[in-house]
């Protein structure tokens, strides 16, 4: 099989960049999406300096015109896409889990719209745009970057370690993304494409902060594992470091 081609949104820093490093190490041609061309080129230099094949595409997940640009790029250069990592996302203020900046009762509606636009509507729209290219792959893989905070089971359980870690806009956007994973995996169940949600863990990134218990080097492992699943691997699941999480 030809070298696999991967697209990672928000791949110029943090978890996205770590995922790019790890996938590149696995022999995958990585294309990182970056809103800022300068930051994208800086990330690309680091990827190439580390060896392997990589490229950068100026891409803003909140701009629908960029979905077509991404389609045109992969279609003209490769004729397919093997791996899509829907990594780009935002919090609503503080990192979720460190103390809510709003509750379900007082969430500003503009914040709710903004978070859902980036964390849910945009990944759905991008995936829809790129799905024809993923269907041309011998083994398409879609990884949706979720969070354990999107688990309704754990959020509702008073004994859960995340029971008091509630930030409504962020948490609900990840719950919605999980629902998309389940529905899309069902739709594609008779194809070679696998769709899964990944909880990377609480990682020391710009979003996670220095108080996070996991190092950035650990943060990309779940996404990489789901992006490189074997033919008999799972689809329609919700995972962290190989362990299934409750919806």
Q: For 156-213, what is each residue's pLDDT tens digit?
A: 999 998 898 889 999 999 999 999 999 999 999 999 999 999 999 765 445 544 554 4
Residue percentage of the chain with pLDDT more than 70: 89
Q: Which residue has the tokens 């490093």?
A: 21
Tens of pLDDT, residues 84-118: 999 999 987 655 555 556 889 999 999 999 999 99
Domain boundaries in the chain? 5-244
pTM: 0.93
**pLDDT at position 189, please?**
98
- The reported pLDDT for the residue numbered 209 is 47
Mean pLDDT for all residues in the chain: 90
Burial letters 204-229, b for 16+ CB under 10 A, else e: bbebbeeebebebeebbbbbbbbbbb
Query: 5-244 domain in CATH 3.40.50.2300?
Result: no
**φ and ψ at 43, to 5 degrees?**
-65, -40
Element (H, E) at 141: strand 141-145
């Amino acid at each position: 099989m030809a070298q696999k081609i991967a697209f990672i949104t928000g791949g110029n820093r943090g978890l996205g960049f770590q995922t790019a490093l790890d996938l590149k190490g696995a022999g995958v041609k990585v294309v990182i999406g970056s809103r800022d061309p300068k930051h994208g080129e800086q990330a690309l230099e680091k990827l190439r300096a580390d060896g392997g094949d990589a490229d950068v595409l100026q891409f803003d997940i909140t701009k629908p015109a960029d979905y077509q640009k991404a389609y045109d790029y992969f279609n003209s250069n490769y004729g397919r896409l093997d791996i899509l990592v829907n990594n780009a996302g935002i919090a609503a203020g503080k990192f979720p889990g460190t103390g809510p900046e709003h509750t379900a009762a007082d969430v500003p509606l503009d914040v709710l719209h903004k978070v859902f636009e980036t964390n849910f509507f945009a990944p759905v729209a991008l995936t829809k745009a790129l799905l024809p290219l993923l269907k041309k792959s011998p083994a398409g893989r879609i990884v949706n970057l979720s969070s354990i905070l999107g688990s309704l089971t754990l959020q509702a359980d008073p004994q859960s370690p995340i029971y008091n870690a509630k930030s409504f806009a962020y948490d609900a956007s990840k719950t919605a993304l999980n629902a998309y994973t389940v529905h899309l995996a069902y739709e594609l169940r008779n194809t070679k494409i696998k769709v899964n949600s990944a909880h990377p863990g609480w990682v020391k990134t710009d979003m996670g902060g220095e108080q996070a218990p996991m190092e950035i080097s650990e943060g990309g492992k779940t996404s990489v594992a789901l992006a490189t699943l074997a033919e008999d691997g799972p689809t329609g699941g919700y995972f962290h470091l190989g362990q299934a999480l409750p919806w």
